[in-house]
Chains A and B, each alone.
Chain A
Amino acid sequence: GQQVMQIPQYQHVQEGEDFTTYCNSSTTLSNIQWYKQRPGGHPVFLIQLVKSGEVKKQKRLTFQFGEAKKNSSLHITATQTTDVGTYFCAGPRGNNRLAFGKGNQVVVIP
Chain B
Amino acid sequence: NAGVTQTPKFQVLKTGQSMTLQCAQDMNHEYMSWYRQDPGMGLRLIHYSVGAGITDQGEVPNGYNVSRSTTEDFPLRLLSAAPSQTSVYFCASKVAGLYNEQFFGPGTRLTVL
A residues sitting closer than 8 Å to B (CB atoms) are 2, 9, 30-31, 33, 35, 41-45, 48, 50, 88, 90, 92, 95-103
Closest B residue to A6 using CB positions: B42
> If A42-B106, A96-B96 touch, does A103 touch B101 (CB 8 Å cutoff)?
no
Closest A residue to B99 using CB positions: A31
B58 at the interface (CB under 8 A from A): yes
Q: Are B42 and A2 in contact (CB under 8 A)?
A: yes
B74 at the interface (CB under 8 A from A): no
Cα(A48)–Cα(B40), bound, Å: 24
> If A43-B90, A97-B48 touch, does A102 touch B41 (CB 8 Å cutoff)?
yes
Question: For chain B, which range describes its interface: under 10, 10 to 19, 20 to 34, or 35 or more residues?
Answer: 20 to 34
Per-residue interface assignment for chain B, residues 76 to 113, with 1 indicating a CB less than 8 Å from any chain A CB and 0 otherwise: 00000000000000101000111101111111000000
Q: Are A9 and B102 in contact (CB under 8 A)?
A: no
Contacts A95-B98, A97-B33 given; 10 further ones with Cβ under 8 A?
A33-B102, A41-B106, A43-B43, A48-B99, A48-B101, A88-B43, A92-B98, A98-B45, A100-B43, A100-B44
A96 interface neighbour in B31, B103, B105, B107, Cβ under 8 Å? B31
Set of chain B residues within 8 Å of A43, measured between Cβ atoms: 43, 90, 92, 102, 104
Set of chain B residues within 8 Å of A42, measured between Cβ atoms: 90, 104-107
B81 CB to nearest A CB, Å = 22
B50 at the interface (CB under 8 A from A): yes
Set of chain B residues within 8 Å of A35, measured between Cβ atoms: 102
Q: Are B102 and A45 in contact (CB under 8 A)?
A: yes
